[in-house]
Chains A and B, each alone.
Chain A
């Protein structure tokens, strides 16, 4: 089977994100960019399926600017077989991404698509679900364990109440949670080999998708600074503060 893994280029998780002075977005100039950590987990899982003889090919897809090719190269260096790059500058929303991925899925015919549950830049947590709906495929979100069976996947999901194990028929969409695996570090020999692996380039138009955003961002601001804590004398004071000051009960 083929496994398709979308990978997004985002601000590196170690970077302290700053809001632009004009409040139109966050500062991206000269900021280190990396693969979305959840997507790294997705790539790792796909490669492990291949190493276990459960998958034949792993395809990494990225939709983004020219530099998104670097993100695809990282996936190739980890062990993906080839890449697909949809060149697009500027904002893309989950629905447009899902539509483009649908077109690529129809072309490539994977049995499983593994996505990160969300990207750490916009935290949307939508693309996998939307793709599942557009394709009419089963979905298993927030996976912390995936077992590949015959025509089905057994997936353990991280849900609010704990862990939930479900079976889904393939073809299926899976989104990854943090505990699914620990992604490997690419070796230099594999980074060098990745240079020679093919990346197919295309545009949103080639996929018949109009990526124009449907939402307008009005303003981006920093979250309010956390105020220092206070010690309360007793439960009565706590309840009173929650009611009258915090106004949460």
Chain B
């Protein structure tokens, strides 16, 4: 449901204030401790943030994509670990159910995902299958009425908090491609599930990724998303389509924060008796960053509007994620440069964001995979027309 402008404005204001007054002051602490204070998830749940993308009839807020990207950009203004708390419930951890789940599955999971009582994680990547997700090896063998899962999933965000996993596994072992894959909803407490030790990461301290190992994990037949085998890869791709727009919006917000940090520094710091901001070479960096950030913002809003209009957004979502994440990398690089030596020192936020933004070019489809998706769509359209 689309919100009226006043309600949306009030919500955006509230989130902006929460980010500024509550989350930004905690950034250094979470970066140092690699942990988020436990009251934060509770506060975010109270504000309704876990249910942003879940329809109202299942207890969420049911924002349109155009609205969700505005909230994504607000949350982008602080350490991305905060956004990641709700990230999987809003995106990859719930959308499989929202988009392709049966009515029973929706009623079973969505209200608890919306309230934040349950955290959802998305298990696609494996040790031998990343960009080539369709080659995944985790198996789901039929066993009586249900299935038995075996395999290892790698780098799974929020797996240490998760109550339910969306697991892509191969039900048709003879079909080595996308058509052999099905998606399951697996209770994280099931027998046979083990978590690896959380990985040490370059940035985004406070969010944890770990391997999830499935060893003879029994799941009932009604755990199959949509109740139909062989649809799992399609489900995963639809989920990622939406997720890419959300991530792109986070990049837009983070670039805006980096520009603010750059402006604050450049208007204070003096060299050669002049504030840095007066040097045209510094101004050029500021201008390039703003121009690219504005372009990405505009792309995200346009692609989100197309998504809401029901258009196929596979290509434009890839364009937005590709451009926005690369843009955020360039803006972060310039922010460090404008800070000079200080930009390399951890007391300055830009040093941390420089490492944080690096991930956006890698997960939910690397930049190269986005380029491939974009080009494939271009060629398909061309061929259809000629």
Contacts and interface: CB of A to CB of B under 8 A. Distances in A.
Interface of A: 14, 34, 70, 73-74, 77, 185-189, 191-192, 195
6 contacts: A185-B18, A185-B22, A187-B48, A192-B3, A195-B4, A195-B7
- Kindly list the 9 A-B residue pairs having the minimum CB-CB distance in the complex, ordered from nearest: A188-B48, A187-B47, A187-B48, A188-B11, A185-B18, A191-B10, A189-B48, A188-B61, A185-B14
B43 A74 contact: no
Interface string B1-37: 0011011001101100110101000000000000000
B57 interface: no
A195 B5 CA distance: 12
A185 B48 contact: no
B108 interface: no
Nearest to A188: B48
Nearest to A73: B10
Contact of B61 (A14, A189, A195): A189
A186 B61 contact: no
Contacts of A187: 46-48
A185 B43 contact: yes
B7 A191 contact: yes
Q: Which of B7, B14, B43 has the most CB of A within 10 A?
A: B14
A76 to B, nearest CB: 10
Contacts of B20: 14
B47 A77 contact: no
A199 B94 CA distance: 37
Contacts of A192: 3, 7, 61
Contacts of B4: 195
A189 B114 CA distance: 12
Nearest to A77: B10
A70 B6 contact: yes
B49 to A, nearest CB: 8
Nearest to B10: A191
Q: Could you tell me the dominant secondary structure of chain B's interface residues? A: helix
Nearest to A192: B7
Interface of B: 3-4, 6-7, 10-11, 13-14, 17-18, 20, 22, 43, 46-49, 61
B10 A74 contact: yes
Contacts of B14: 185-186, 188, 191
A31 to B, nearest CB: 14
Given A34-B13, A77-B10, 10 more contacts: A73-B6, A73-B10, A185-B18, A185-B46, A186-B14, A188-B48, A188-B61, A192-B3, A192-B61, A195-B6
Contacts of A188: 11, 14, 47-49, 61
Contacts of B49: 188
Contacts of B10: 70, 73-74, 77, 186, 191
Contacts of A74: 10
A192 B48 CA distance: 11
Contacts of B48: 187-189
A131 B321 CA distance: 57
Nearest to A14: B20
Nearest to A189: B48
Contacts of B46: 185, 187
Contacts of B6: 70, 73, 195
Contacts of B61: 188-189, 192
A33 to B, nearest CB: 11
B335 to A, nearest CB: 22
Nearest to A34: B13
Contacts of A14: 20
Contacts of A34: 13
Q: Which of B3, B10, B49 has the most CB of A within 10 A?
A: B10
A185 B23 CA distance: 13
A185 B7 contact: no
Nearest to A32: B13
B1 to A, nearest CB: 9
Nearest to B18: A185
Nearest to B114: A189
A186 B4 CA distance: 17
Nearest to B71: A188
A147 to B, nearest CB: 25
A34 B20 CA distance: 15
A77 B6 CA distance: 12
A191 B4 CA distance: 11
B175 to A, nearest CB: 43
Nearest to B48: A188
